[in-house]
Structure 1
Amino acid sequence: MDKELKLHWLLLGELFGSFGNSFIWPLTTIYMHNQLHQSLTISGIVLMLYSCANVIGSSTAGALFDRYDPQKLMISGLISSIIIMTILVMFNGWPAYPILLTLFGFFIGWIITLLNSFGTQLKKQSSRFVFNMLYFTNNLGVVLGTMIAGPFYQMAGNQVAPLFVITIVMYLAYTIVVIRHFRIKPTHLQSKKVKSGTTSYQLPMANRIIIFTLFGSIALIWLTYAQWSSNLSVYMTDNGITMSLYSFLWTINGFLIVVFQLIINWLTKQIKNDFWFVYFGVSACCLSFVVLIFAHTYLLFVLGMIILTLGEATAFPSIPAIIADLSPQKLKGKYQGFFNAATSLGKAGGPLIGGIIIELFSYHILFIVCSTVIGLVELTIIIISKLTYNIKRF
């Protein structure tokens, strides 16, 4: 048993978690729309409640990480998730499904924030490398999971219970890894210094401006990105594209992230400024929605997904890495919690706002709005990062 957490155990836990989750999130909207006979707006409200619970879980776990035993916090979150999923296997109709899904969302936020916070405590690797590898592993799990989820969902007669059983097994394996290997030097023993407001733990104003700009940016980016994982499934199936082909888009997404990350890990050795990865990635996310405006064939949806994947592979792991570098050691858990909360806020509003725009206007208007929003986010990040000086790295 390791005395301290090693990166490969962190990545194994991430793999189990992402593989298990891939049997839930790609199918949620289509399951509620086709099997539970709910409108896109109602489905969006359910996903919003799920993500709001995710926000609360992320914020709570981030604050507690700096004060209590992180390993015990992680175990409690995993066990709670297993209990909820076990109930979901037996009761997945309406309204049990949205209620239990919301509870599950709380603990997903809890677990993801704790995992990222564990990553900030690893001393032998840079934050950029750790978050790149976490993102790589997360999407490796997505590749493996989505290869099975769509076809298995159809084989199971469009029922979700068999998929949730697989999620339970993955979370049990995740729990075993955490119990045996998730050990770090306790940070909560020094919490009194954090609470006292000593200058060594204060966040400089320049750091604060950039970090909170990134919080707002990731929320808006995820608000648009959520259209791909929610409303787009209905749009594609309404246009005669099968659920298996929609699911295959996410297999492409995960596979390409694995490939792109190998290239990006090499590029990080050549390009030291992480903001360049953010600039490029956000631009690519914007372009993916421009492609959707003109997409009428499956090949164009594939092209849009490839561009989106290139964008998220470069921007998404860079943002938490920048936040980690700009946060004091004893507050890293707190700000990773805020980051995941901002991400969840975007996920919360995305399906609902997208569903409302679709029902009031059209899918094409939605795609135009999304590309415009991301373009403005890109401009804001560039301006703020160029005008902010006296940044302190921890």
Structure 2
Amino acid sequence: MKLTHGSNNETEVKLRWLLLGELATWIGSSFVWPLTSVYLNKQLHISLSMIGVVLFCNCAGNVLGSIVAGRFYDRYNPYPLIVVGLSLDATILFLMAFFHGWPAYWIWLTLTGLTSGWNGTMINSIATSLRKYPGRYVFNLIYFAQNVGTVTGTLLVGYLYDFSIEFLFILAAALFAIAAINAAINYRPIINFHKQRQAKTVATGEKPKSQAMPKYNMMLTIGFLISLAVTWLMYMNWESNLSVYMVSLGIPFHMYSLLWTLNGAVIVIIQVVLARYPHLFKNLFHQIIFGTLMFAISFVTLIFARDFAHFALSMLILTFGEATAFPAVPAYINDLSPLSSKGKYQGAINVARGIGQAFGPLFGGLVIDRSGYIPFFIIAAVGIFLMIVLLIPLHAKLRKHLTLYK
């Protein structure tokens, strides 16, 4: 296995400022997505099928933003791209505070999907420029910041929504404005990194455009992206169809909400442990396989769940999968990506996730309507387990031929 090392002397963005930006934006985002379905249905009297279209447009915007941002990161100076992206998101949320009727809300939510994909890809791509810490450590902490933001936002949104939806959007806009100011002040070192990256491409004879992955790296990356898309396809049903199933079993809705508090809290604990013991797993591939296996097992346990305790157990297992597999995938793909194309492939990760998010509730709904919940749980468990069957032999065949870019 060949290794190509980057310089440790490059000026880079400090990790703490990257985490601050993630924390602020994820708290802000968590003020918007939990209330969308309730607000559109109860306040604007929009049908559930139309709400599904709205959420699909949001995910489609996220995919488009991720694709474009990844390519722009590789070709242009990322500093103005991230500052403008965060500022634009803040502006959109501010406008939502005053114009949140129908169909304006639909338009704004689609645009926030676009900027979310853009900013998320930019942050992950900038994270690949950090050389002070191992990639595994960086992406674990980024995932930690995202989930602290999600837990904080979702805990507050219920109380703030009852107070004023206008205030919610203004507060979300303020958080994105803080993230934009933080980026404007503290992300300037990425300018120097971009210049050094351009100089390296010239020195090594590479074309200015992004360099393609080596063939074997690309084959493994495609395997990871397929696995990620399938996992998100099934995982999204925890956020949509599982609430209906639990209520149908006589479990109060607030108990379903409690599961997500459990999810966020456990993710934070796991990320702290992984940050403290970065070599708990032998390598990133083992971490991905472990996490994917936990996802599959969580759906197996759902087959037998009839009370809250069993659903809590399923959520606990699912959370182990989420907290280990999801941050490990961008870290490994970062190692597989050449210097001049890291943004492109970090964007591809968001695209795979966005496809799973967009079609997950629809896929689950179709299976459940035709066959019921238990057959869906079986299909989800088998589908995710097949991803392990795909990845293990693929990695075994390719690992000696991989080129890692540290």
The residue type equivalent to 2:382 in the other structure is T
Which region of structure 1 is more displaced relative to structure 2, 376-385 or 286-295? Answer: 286-295
Which region of structure 1 is more displaced relative to structure 2, 186-195 or 162-171? Answer: 186-195
CA apart distance, 1:318: 0.6
Q: Does 1:143 align with 2:154?
A: no
Tell me how far apart the structure 2 counterparts of residues 355 and 206 of structure 1 sit (CA, whole Å). Answer: 37
The residue type equivalent to 2:401 in the other structure is N
Equivalent runs, 1:127-166 vs 2, <5 Å: 127-153=135-161, 155-156=162-163, 160-166=165-171
Which region of structure 1 is more displaced relative to structure 2, 215-224 or 90-99? Answer: 90-99
- In structure 2, the residue matched to 1:187 is 194
Tell me how far apart the structure 2 counterparts of residues 266 and 246 of structure 1 sit (CA, whole Å). Answer: 31
Which region of structure 1 is more displaced relative to structure 2, 184-193 or 248-257? Answer: 184-193
Q: Does 1:178 align with 2:188?
A: no
- What percentage of aligned pairs have identical amino acids? 41
In structure 2, do the counterparts of structure 1 residues 200 and 392 end up closer, same or farther at CA, with 3 Å as the change threshold?
farther
In structure 2, do the counterparts of structure 1 residues 34 and 346 end up closer, same or farther at CA, with 3 Å as the change threshold?
same
Mapped contact 2:44–2:101 kept (Cα < 8 A):
yes
Mapped contact 2:12–2:193 kept (Cα < 8 A):
no
Which region of structure 1 is more displaced relative to structure 2, 247-256 or 291-300? Answer: 291-300
CA apart distance, 1:196: 5.4
Task: Indicate the SS of the match to 1:223.
Answer: helix
Mapped contact 1:146–1:247 kept (Cα < 8 A):
no
Mapped contact 2:259–2:312 kept (Cα < 8 A):
yes
In structure 2, do the counterparts of structure 1 residues 294 and 225 end up closer, same or farther at CA, with 3 Å as the change threshold?
same
- In structure 2, the residue matched to 1:51 is 59
Mapped contact 2:93–2:173 kept (Cα < 8 A):
yes
Identify the match of residue 261 of structure 1 among 271, 274, 286.
271
Identify the match of residue 71 of structure 2 among 63, 66, 75.
63
Identify the match of residue 380 of structure 2 among 366, 370, 383.
370
Gaps of 5+ in 2: 1-10
Mapped contact 1:70–1:114 kept (Cα < 8 A):
yes
CA apart distance, 1:162: 3.7
- In structure 2, the residue matched to 1:336 is 346
Identify the match of residue 295 of structure 2 among 285, 288, 305.
285
Q: Does 1:218 align with 2:228?
A: yes
CA apart distance, 1:296: 2.8
- In structure 2, the residue matched to 1:80 is 88
Tell me how far apart the structure 2 counterparts of residues 164 and 243 of structure 1 sit (CA, whole Å). Answer: 25
Q: Deviations over 1:86-114 (max 9, x none)?
A: 23223334333222211110000000000
Root mean square deviation, CA, Å: 2.5
Tell me how far apart the structure 2 counterparts of residues 87 and 198 of structure 1 sit (CA, whole Å). Answer: 38
Q: Deviations over 1:256-302 (max 9, x none)?
A: 11111122234432433211111110011112222223333222222
Tell me how far apart the structure 2 counterparts of residues 324 and 182 of structure 1 sit (CA, whole Å). Answer: 20
CA apart distance, 1:51: 0.9
- In structure 2, the residue matched to 1:13 is 21
Which region of structure 1 is more displaced relative to structure 2, 159-168 or 248-257? Answer: 159-168
- In structure 2, the residue matched to 1:89 is 97
Which region of structure 1 is more displaced relative to structure 2, 111-120 or 166-175? Answer: 166-175
Mapped contact 1:226–1:350 kept (Cα < 8 A):
yes
Task: Indicate the SS of the match to 2:95.
Answer: helix
- In structure 2, the residue matched to 1:307 is 317
Gaps of 5+ in 1: none
CA apart distance, 1:247: 2.9
Tell me how far apart the structure 2 counterparts of residues 195 and 12 of structure 1 sit (CA, whole Å). Answer: 37
The residue type equivalent to 1:78 in the other structure is L
Tell me how far apart the structure 1 counterparts of residues 157 and 211 of structure 2 sit (CA, whole Å). Answer: 45
Instruction: Give the number of aligned pairs.
Output: 389
Equivalent runs, 1:100-119 vs 2, <5 Å: 100-119=108-127
Tell me how far apart the structure 2 counterparts of residues 273 and 112 of structure 1 sit (CA, whole Å). Answer: 25
In structure 2, do the counterparts of structure 1 residues 92 and 198 end up closer, same or farther at CA, with 3 Å as the change threshold?
closer
Tell me how far apart the structure 2 counterparts of residues 28 and 240 of structure 1 sit (CA, whole Å). Answer: 25
Mapped contact 2:75–2:208 kept (Cα < 8 A):
no
TM-score, length-scaled by structure 2? 0.88
Q: Deviations over 1:116-161 (max 9, x none)?
A: 01100011111111001101111111121222223444x34xx744
Identify the match of residue 174 of structure 2 among 143, 161, 169.
169
Tell me how far apart the structure 2 counterparts of residues 226 and 338 of structure 1 sit (CA, whole Å). Answer: 19
CA apart distance, 1:197: 4.7
Q: Deviations over 1:9-50 (max 9, x none)?
A: 001111101111112223334444554455554333322221
The residue type equivalent to 2:311 in the other structure is F
- In structure 1, the residue matched to 2:243 is 233
